[in-house]
Copies of this chain bind each other. A is one copy, B any other.
Amino acid sequence: MNRRKPSQKRAKNSVEAIINAGFISLAKNGLANTTTIHIADIAGISPGTLYQYFDNKEAVYTAMERYFVNDILALLNSVVPEFIQLDIRAGVTFLLHKLSEKLLEDNGRYLKFARHGAHIFDENLSQHAHEIEKKLQEIIMQYVMHHPELMRIKSIPTFNYLIINGGILIIIRYLSESSPTISLEQLIDGLGNMAIRYIAGEMQDA
């Protein structure tokens, strides 16, 4: 039952085209109106062809998630060296800006997908998405290595959880709002403040 792995150039193009079409359809038509036929249409192929590369619709979503996660991971990797040099506030601000940019790329094609997130799969956050969390934890640990004084923070796991999930969820939520009550700058600034003050407090206690 498993579809052949695309081994040819055209095939690779088709796969990419389908994944891309998935993001576009989701952003344009919404989850309910994202049908395989729509996706195939946008990808410029026939529905039959779509099924030569994907077992079923969910496999397309999974591939989209894989693609999205890889893109974010690549972004994070590329950004680590610069990030590590920055102080906390600048670092947080820097990362959140990068994330916002990525989510708004190409008419926000990732944004809707990120918002729908696990809802598409009707389960807990997918394993793929956890990779982003892990990568961020890793990056934070690298940061801590470069800034040993931070080791005095009492509960690094809690801090990680808060700053990572809080940061990502709020940004996604914010970007999805049609008429937000504060500006993106204010939001990112606020998150930066929050991080720096939390850390300052934790270190004072220690």
Contacts and interface: CB of A to CB of B under 8 A. Distances in A.
A100 interface: no
B178 A124 contact: yes
B161 A181 contact: yes
Interface in A14-46: 30-33
Contact of A170 (B30, B123, B165): B165
Contacts of A169: 165-166, 169-170, 173
B197 A182 contact: no
A124 B158 contact: no
Nearest to A34: B122
A187 B159 CA distance: 9
Contacts of A187: 158, 161-162
A165 B161 contact: no
A32 B200 CA distance: 46
Interface string A164-196: 011001100110111001100011011101101
A2 to B, nearest CB: 13
Contact of A190 (B32, B123, B162, B177): B162
A201 interface: yes
A142 B170 CA distance: 24
Given A157-B182, A198-B197, A31 B170 contact: no
A147 interface: no
A147 to B, nearest CB: 18
B176 A162 contact: no
Interface of A: 30-33, 115-116, 118-119, 122-125, 155, 157-159, 161-162, 165-166, 169-170, 173-174, 176-178, 181-182, 186-187, 189-191, 193-194, 196-198, 200-202
Given A155-B186, A158-B186, 15 more contacts: A30-B123, A115-B119, A124-B177, A158-B187, A159-B190, A161-B170, A162-B187, A162-B190, A162-B191, A162-B194, A165-B174, A193-B202, A197-B198, A197-B202, A200-B201
